[in-house]
Amino acid sequence: MSTYIRIEDLHKSFKNKNEKTEVLKGIDLSINKGEIYGIVGFSGAGKSTLVRCINRLEEPDSGKVWIGDTEITALNKKQLTERRKKIGMIFQQFNLFDSMTVFKNIAYPLKLVGTPKKEIEKKVDKLLELVGLSDKKNAYPGSLSGGQKQRVGIARSLANDPDVLLSDEATSALDPVSTLSILDLLAQINDELGVTIIMITHELEAAKRICGKIAVLENGVITEKGNTRDIFLDPKSSTGKIFLEVYREFRQEHTYSGGGGI
Amino acid sequence: MSFSKYPFWEVVKHAFSKEVWDTLWPAVWDTLYMVVLSALITLVLGVLLGIALSVISKDGVRPIPVLNETAGTIVNCLRSLPQMIMIIVTLPLARMILGQSYGVNACIIALAASCIPMYARLVQGAFVEIPKGKIEAAKAMGSSSATIVFRVMLPEAVPSIIRGFTVALIGIISMTALAGSFGAGGIGDIAVRFGFNRFYHDMLIASVLVLIVMVEIAQIFGDLLSNLILRKRHLI
pLDDT of B83 higher than 90: no
Band the pLDDT of A256: cuts 50, 70, 90: low
**What pLDDT, in 10s, does the model give residues A155-211?**
999 999 999 999 999 999 999 999 999 999 999 999 999 999 999 998 888 898 999
- Please report whether residue B50 resides in a domain: yes
pLDDT of A153 higher than 70: yes
Contacting residues for A185 by C-beta, under 8 A, at least 6 apart: A131, A132, A151, A154
User: What's the pLDDT score for residue B102?
Assistant: 84
User: Cα–Cα distance between B169 and A183 in angstroms, integer?
Assistant: 50
Contact B137 A91 (CB under 8 A): yes
Among A133-137, B77-81, B82-86, B93-97, name the most confident range. Answer: A133-137
Residue of chain B whose Cα is closest to the Cα of A160:
B141
Q: What are phi and psi of A224, to 5 degrees?
A: -165, 135
Question: Looking at residues B174-189, what average pLDDT do you find?
Answer: 89
User: What's the pLDDT score for residue B105?
Assistant: 85
pLDDT of B124 higher than 90: yes
The amino acid sitting at B169 is L
Q: What is the mean pLDDT of chain A?
A: 91
Mutate to test the interface with B, among A78, A97, A148, A157 (most CBs of B within 10 A): A97
**DSSP for residue A133:** -
Does residue A140 sit in helix, strand or coil?
coil
pLDDT of B180 higher than 90: no
Tell me how far CA of residue A118 lies from CA of A111, A121, A150, A152, B192, in angstroms: 11, 5, 25, 20, 63
- Residue numbers of the domain that contains B24: 8-232
End-to-end CA distance of chain B: 49
Question: Nearest by CB to B234, which of A57, A87, A140?
Answer: A140
User: What's the pLDDT score for residue B91?
Assistant: 87
Interface confidence, given as ipTM, is: 0.89
Sign of torsion, CA A84 A89 A94 A96?
A: positive
- Please report whether residue B34 resides in a domain: yes
**What pLDDT, in 10s, does the model give residues A15-33?**
888 888 999 999 999 999 9
User: What's the pLDDT score for residue A255?
Assistant: 57
**What pLDDT, in 10s, does the model give residues A47-78?**
999 999 999 999 999 999 999 999 999 999 99
CA-wise closest residue to A27 among A81, A65, A56: A65
User: What's the pLDDT score for residue B67?
Assistant: 95
- Please report whether residue B71 resides in a domain: yes
**What pLDDT, in 10s, does the model give residues B126-148?**
999 999 999 999 999 999 999 99
User: What's the pLDDT score for residue A258?
Assistant: 46
Would you say B108 and B184 are in contact if contact means Cβ atoms under 8 Å apart? no
- Please report whether residue B79 resides in a domain: yes
Shortest Cα distance, chain A CAs vs residue B156, angstroms: 5
Would you say B111 and B38 are in contact if contact means Cβ atoms under 8 Å apart? yes
Question: SS3 letters for A98-126?
Answer: CCCCHHHHHHHHHHHCCCCHHHHHHHHHH
Q: What percent of chain B lies above the pLDDT cut of 70?
A: 100
Query: Exposed, middle or buried, A29 (CB in 10 Å: 0-12/13-18/19+)?
Result: buried
Q: What percent of chain B lies above the pLDDT cut of 90?
A: 70
Question: Looking at residues A90-110, what average pLDDT do you find?
Answer: 97
Q: What is the mean pLDDT of chain B?
A: 93
pTM for the model stands at 0.88
- Please report whether residue B208 resides in a domain: yes
Quote the crossing angle between the two packed helices B201-232 and B18-56, to the nearest 10°: 40
Contact pairs from chain A to chain B, CB under 8 Å: 68
The region of weakest confidence among A22-36, A192-206, B89-103, B193-207 is: B89-103
Using beta carbons and an 8 Å cutoff, which residues of A are at the interface with B? 55, 57, 81-85, 87, 89, 91, 93, 95-100, 108-109, 112-113, 139-143, 156-157, 160, 166
Give the largest CA-CA distance in chain A: 56
Give me the number of domains chain B comprises.
1
CATH number at residue B115: 1.10.3720.10
Tell me how far CA of residue B137 lies from CA of A66, A130, A158, B44, B124, in angstroms: 21, 21, 13, 28, 20
Contact B131 A112 (CB under 8 A): no
Element at A28 (helix H, strand E): strand A19-32
User: What's the pLDDT score for residue A205?
Assistant: 84
Band the pLDDT of A259: cuts 50, 70, 90: very low
The amino acid sitting at A166 is L
Shortest Cα distance, chain A CAs vs residue B145, angstroms: 10
Does residue A92 sit in helix, strand or coil?
coil
Band the pLDDT of A261: cuts 50, 70, 90: very low
End-to-end CA distance of chain A: 32
- Please report whether residue B3 resides in a domain: no
The region of weakest confidence among A103-112, A183-192, A232-241, B130-139 is: A232-241
Q: What percent of chain A lies above the pLDDT cut of 70?
A: 96
Contact A99 B232 (CB under 8 A): no
Q: What percent of chain A lies above the pLDDT cut of 90?
A: 77
The amino acid sitting at B134 is K
Question: Looking at residues A232-244, what average pLDDT do you find?
Answer: 81
Residue of chain B whose Cα is closest to the Cα of A92:
B133
CA-wise closest residue to A108 among A136, A92, A127: A127
Mutate to test the interface with A, among B58, B141, B147 (most CBs of A within 10 A): B141
User: ∠ CA B136-B139-B143 to the nearest 5 degrees?
Assistant: 145
pLDDT of B195 higher than 70: yes
Would you say B180 and B188 are in contact if contact means Cβ atoms under 8 Å apart? yes
Shortest Cα distance, chain B CAs vs residue A174, angstroms: 17
Does residue A38 sit in helix, strand or coil?
strand
Q: Which residues of A touch B234 (CB under 8 A)?
A: 139-143
**What pLDDT, in 10s, does the model give residues B8-35?**
999 999 999 999 999 999 999 999 999 9
Band the pLDDT of A253: cuts 50, 70, 90: low
